[in-house]
Each structure stands twice: as structure tokens, then as C-alpha cells.
Amino acid sequence: MASERTLREAHPTERAVGIEHYVSGADGIGGRLRESPEDFRVRELEAFDAEPLDSDPGSYPELVVRATLRDWDTNDFARRLSDALGISRERVSWAGTKDKRAVTTQLFTVRGVEAEDLPEIHGAEIEALGRAGRSLSFGDLAGNAFEIRVADAVDGASERVAETVRDLRAFAGDAEAESAPSDARDLSAEATVGVPNYFGQQRFGSRRPVTHLVGLAIARNDPREAVRLYAGNPAETEPDDTRAARDRVDAAFGAGEGPESDGADRADADGDWVACLDAIPGKLRFERSMVHRLADRGVAPDAPPDDGDWWHALEAVPSNLQRLFVNAAQSFLFNRIVSERLRRGLPFDRPVAGDVVCFADGDAPAGLYAPDTDRLQRVDADRVDVVSRHCERGRAFVTAPLVGTETELGDGEPGEIEREVLADAEIEPGDFDLPGEFDSRGTRRAILLRTDLDVSFAGGDPRFAFALPSGSYATVLLREFTKRGPLDL
């Protein structure tokens, strides 16, 4: 067994979603992200080919456009674009959803329109690139390039950044990094750094991180608790009207703890879903949809936890949110597995006996690696050295499971960690054999997030430039430098 490491503890909000530690023990630079949209720039690394604009619309019905958006949520922009064109929102597609408080450059496809039909939209620069025979989908996003400014960093930030860079170089597998001096003057050179490939806070909900808890209840075949966790279960960070509404829902379940949940009131509220609907504000439209289904069917609050009516209520939300519940549960378990590996001192840049690795996707854009989790190989003791050389050259990556029905767990100590985390969560791979959109076969995910990082201090504030493969989070890298909680940024 590897020796356990003494690590800096993560922020409590992060620990709630399975992120237990920092890699670097350096003090943070503090600061804030997104003081203005220009402080957070994201550019898609495109992996989607377009035919010329004059191609036959019959064969190529999709118009491919590149949009640079300032302070636009991707979904809101797609809705605004479709409204301006007078078409259904379903005819607008994209490969990756971007944050609102940013300047983002990404591709969209719009079915059945011409380049001259494109409208002018405030805060958006829209350029027609060509035509395509199909719409964009998530698999068409290879990665993203980031340019991020951290405003109001502490005095002496350059020294702290340099020390953190040294730690992250060592974690990425740079054998010379640990003995190298952490000199701020070295920041002028690009450095290859690495961090655990955690799922960031956005995956679970920043102000009310419950999505994974709902998913875990679903996997435990307890849709009643899943409905309560989503529609009830207030968070301290929510507005007063929202907390009061969730308290009311909890009271109907017999689980309330708020001022409206004393014994007498609870007896009146039990099963009173109509009263809950009166309390739930319209902005909580998905919660209202769930409770509305309970009211329509007159579901008793003490109905069996796996009763079909509870499943019916859960399915009131859109199919993508149904999948997100389960995906968030898988992500939480992944974070827990990765955190335990880090605590035990097992390497991330190379395998140990019992690991499962995947190989590189040869079609990734230049300068960006992409793990191909469809190509997996178990690593026994005899092949550790050979596979380690593949990892060193960027041809292979150590993985951990996103648990589903077809997940095969590792062997040796990595497998021991995976099984212990699942047992602690009372989850087995077969538990993801679920109805409808909740079903998941699972996959695996690289545990090391490695990138070439460039840091500058133009204007006094640190600016970070780097690229990440699709599905990885810029904030997972930046948290090592700021050492601030997700809500403080």
C-alpha cells in the first residue's frame, strides 16, 4: 500500500461534492473571477468540418455559424437566435454549454436557414462559416482554450503562483520540479502542470449542490427521497421565499424542520401537495412540475419509496435533467475515488498494478490530448513499466470509473479504493439498471488533468492561459491557485 500524504484540506463546499484536498500546499492568491465578462474568455477548439456556404441546402440543411458572445448563457442565446429567426428552438444546436459571465467563442448549427437570414443580436458577433449535413452534438467538442484574469489577488501573488506551479509540475510527472526553486521569474516560460481531473462545482449546483444527492437516491431505488431532496431540502444560500417553499414540501413529506414544520402544522400539511403548489414560486418550475404530478395522483406521503407514482413525479423534469441527476451521482463517486487515491499517495501520471488505463484519441486537434475511454486495458504487475512509458509520452492515461451497469472495477489497491467508496455510498454498479433516462451503462474517465499553462502579470493581476479537453473544468485548475471556495469567486 502507498504511504498516505499530508494534504491541504479543500473548502467545505467542495468536500460536499467529493473534492477533499488540494494538490499544492502553497497559500492561495485569493482574488475573484469574472469581475467583467472579458476576464473569462473561452474559445472552442473546433472539431467539426463545414462545407462551403454555397453548398446545396438540400444535402446540407444545417448552417454552421461561429458566435462570439459577451455575457450570454448558451441556452438563452439559442432561444434569442431562434426567436429572431422565427424558428423552433429545436433547430439550433451546439456542442458545449458555456458560462454566462464570460466572452465565449463557439459553433452553432441552425437548420433550414440561409446566411443572409442571420440577425444582429446585442452582445453577439455571428459569422456564417458554411453548411453541414447534420447538426452539432456534444461529441463534436474537442476542448476549450481559456484566458482568465484573477482580479484583486493578494500582494506577493507572483511568488505564490510560482510555488503552486512547481507543485503542479511535479504532480504532472515532472521529475525535476520538486527540486527546482519556485522563483517567480520562471513564470515567463510555459509549464506543463497537472491536477486531479475532478468534476467541478458546476456539475452539482453552485449555490445548492443537491443534484448528486438526488442521483444517489435514484440509484438506491428510492425515488420518494429523490423527489424530496429536489423539491424540498432548503439551502441556507437560497432566498427566503424559496426556503419557505421547500420547508413546506418537507413538511408534507413529514421531514420539515423549518418554522412551519411543528407537529400540529405537519399533521395538516401531510400529503397536502396543493398547499405546496401555492407556496412554490413560479421560478422553481421543475419543482412545481414534480409536486403537480403528486397532487394530480393524490400520492400519499407514506407511499412505498419505490412506488411508481414517485418515479412518475421525477419524470416531470426534462430528460436532460433526469440524466444529469444520475451523471452527478457518478461524478460525485468519481471525485471521492480520486480524492482517496490522492490521500493514499498513489500516482496519477502513471499506473500501479490493478489500474485500468485508456489510450489517446489520435484524432484530437494539435496541441490537445483526448483520452479515448472506449480503448481500455488492465495493468497487471508485469506491464506497469511498459504502460508507464506510454503514459509518460501522452499515449495512455490512468482512469477511474463513472460507475454504471457495465462498469468493471479495477484490481489491486485502485480496485480496493473503488469498492470502498461504492460500499460507503451503498451503491453497486447494477444499481444503475434504472427506468427510462435514469439508466446508465457507465464509463471511465482519466484521473489526471494535464495542460500547458502560461501565466502573465500584465496590468498587475495574474492571467492564466491554457487548453483543456472536453468535459474538464477550468475552475479545477484555478482553485489550486486561489484557494477560495466556489461561491467566493
CA distance readout (Å), 481 to 29, 77, 157, 353? 6, 32, 9, 32
Provide the sign of the torsion angle of the four alpha carbons 129, 133, 134, 139, taken in this order.
negative
Instruction: Determine the distance from the C-alpha atom of residue 311 to the mean position of all C-alpha atoms in its chain, rounded to a whole number.
Output: 25
- 171 burial class (0-12, 13-18, 19+ CB within 10 angstroms)? buried
Cα–Cα nearest to 115, from 46, 55, 65, 66: 65
CB 276 within 8 A of CB 261: no
CA nearest 438: which of 292, 290, 315?
315
The DSSP line for 146-163 is EEEE-EEEPTTHHHHHHH
> Could you please report the per-residue DSSP string of 64-127?
EEEEEEES--HHHHHHHHHHHHTS-GGGEEES----SSSEEEEEEEEET--GGGPPP-TTEEEE
Active-site residue, selected from the candidate residues 39, 71, 99, 431: 99
| 92-94 and 103-111 strand pairing | antiparallel
Q: Any residues with CB less than 8 A from the CB of 314 and at least 6 apart, and which?
A: 218, 223, 226, 227, 230, 290, 322, 438
> What whole-number distance in Å separates Cα of residue 312 and Cα of residue 374?
34
- Residue type at 400? A
Q: Single out the residue of 427, 381, 383 nearest to residue 401, CA to CA.
A: 427
Cell of residue 377, nine digits: 486495458
The answer to whether 99 is a known catalytic residue is yes
> Angle CA(158)–CA(161)–CA(164) in degrees, nearest 5?
150
* Catalytic site positions: 99
